[in-house]
Amino acid sequence: MTKPPIGGNRTGRKLGQKVKKGKLKASSRRWIERHINDPYVQRAQLEGYRARAAFKLLEIDEKHKIMSGAMRIIDLGAAPGSWSQIAAKVTNSTDDDPKVVAIDFLELDPLAGVHILQLDFLDPSAPDRLMAALGGTPDLVLSDMAAPTTGHRQTDHIRTMHLCEVAAYFAIDVLAEGGHFLAKTFQGGAERELLTLLKQNFKQVIHVKPAASRAESVEMFLLAKGFKGRHPDRPTRPDFNAEDDADMRDDREMAGENED
């Protein structure tokens, strides 16, 4: 069972540490203090995960069993790699026989059993390169992609929903029948069409917010379980606006992606 961390004793670090003011802005200092005092951050360091986001996936899987029996997994927006670490473990992936492919425009340090593509998923060549690297049909597509935040909640929601929609069409194009799709989204209401698409193609579609997601965060996850299989009457990936995709890529390259 994935239990929430309690206090700071498990890592030997006390909670409530302060950061000296120095030249840091107040907002930066508060972020650093929250980060170093976060029990999930401390637990990730203790257990060898690259980010606290590992516990979001572990909690979701504990309840919904999305990785049970998965043979091949694709991880979109993978940096710094904690979800890929888990995926490699559950699939028994090795460097000689990789069953996990991770993609991000940010550089990832090598991970045992994970084929890494340093490439923006919005690049038109990304889908074919992912499938060629995987060498088979995935049972699970994960997406922790999020657009850089602007400070305007609705704008951030719409931009991240675009990434989620592109990931959803990709999953529908490549998943094995019975497979699952999990993607990050932000609360905001502009997801009716995406939910309709997922419900047409999966047996169950739900929103989940694991305990490891910060309570004050607008972050949630869309979970689509039980892919029905490709059917000619179901919609396929539309031609998204190439200029919008290019603008999004430029913004992400300037801002980078943060795994919360």
For residues 108 and 125, membership in a common domain is answered with yes
Read off the CATH number of the domain in which 160 is found: 3.40.50.150
Flag whether 201 is in a domain: yes
Q: Report which of 183, 207, 159, 223 is spatially closest to residue 83, judged by C-alpha positions.
A: 183
**Tens of pLDDT along the chain (260 residues)?**
666 554 444 444 444 555 455 555 655 555 455 555 667 788 888 898 999 899 999 999 999 999 999 999 999 999 999 999 999 999 999 999 999 999 999 999 999 999 999 999 999 999 999 999 999 999 999 999 988 777 777 787 788 899 999 999 999 999 999 999 999 998 766 688 899 999 999 999 999 999 988 777 788 999 999 999 987 665 556 555 545 555 555 554 434 444 45
Q: What is the largest CA-CA distance in the chain?
A: 61
Flag whether 158 is in a domain: yes
Final residue of a structural domain among 13, 28, 48:
48
Residue 1 has a pLDDT of: 60
Torsion over CA of 90, 212, 209 and 163, rounded to 10 degrees?
Answer: -70
Alpha-carbon distances, residue 85 vs 67, 94, 229 (angstroms): 13, 11, 28
For residues 30 and 69, membership in a common domain is answered with no
For residues 79 and 132, membership in a common domain is answered with yes
For residues 43 and 57, membership in a common domain is answered with no
For residues 30 and 111, membership in a common domain is answered with no
Flag whether 122 is in a domain: yes
Domain that holds residue 73: 51-255
For residues 206 and 102, membership in a common domain is answered with yes
Final residue of a structural domain among 48, 67, 83:
48
Which residues, including other chains, have CB under 8 Å from residue 223's CB and lie 6 or more apart?
60, 64, 66, 180, 181, 182, 204, 205, 206, 207, 208
Flag whether 244 is in a domain: yes
For residues 29 and 116, membership in a common domain is answered with no
For residues 125 and 78, membership in a common domain is answered with yes
Residue 242 has a pLDDT of: 47
Residue 155 has a pLDDT of: 80
pTM: 0.80
* Number of compact structural domains in the chain: 2
Residue 50 has a pLDDT of: 93
Please identify which residue in the block is written with the tokens 């719409």.
158
Flag whether 251 is in a domain: yes
Q: Report which of 109, 150, 147, 102 is spatially closest to residue 126, judged by C-alpha positions.
A: 102
Contact 38, 66 (CB under 8 A): no
The β-bridge relationship of strands 180-186 and 140-143 is: parallel
Flag whether 114 is in a domain: yes
Catalytic residues: 184
What does the alpha-carbon distance between residue 169 and residue 237 come to, in Å, rounded to a whole number? Answer: 5
Flag whether 91 is in a domain: yes
For residues 41 and 57, membership in a common domain is answered with no
For residues 130 and 60, membership in a common domain is answered with yes
Residue 251 has a pLDDT of: 52
What number of other Cβ atoms are within 10 A of residue 124's Cβ?
Answer: 9
Q: Which residues are annotated as a binding site?
A: 81, 83, 104, 120, 144
For residues 115 and 224, membership in a common domain is answered with yes
Flag whether 260 is in a domain: no
For residues 123 and 24, membership in a common domain is answered with no
Q: Which residues are annotated as a binding site for S-adenosyl-L-methionine?
A: 81, 83, 104, 120, 144
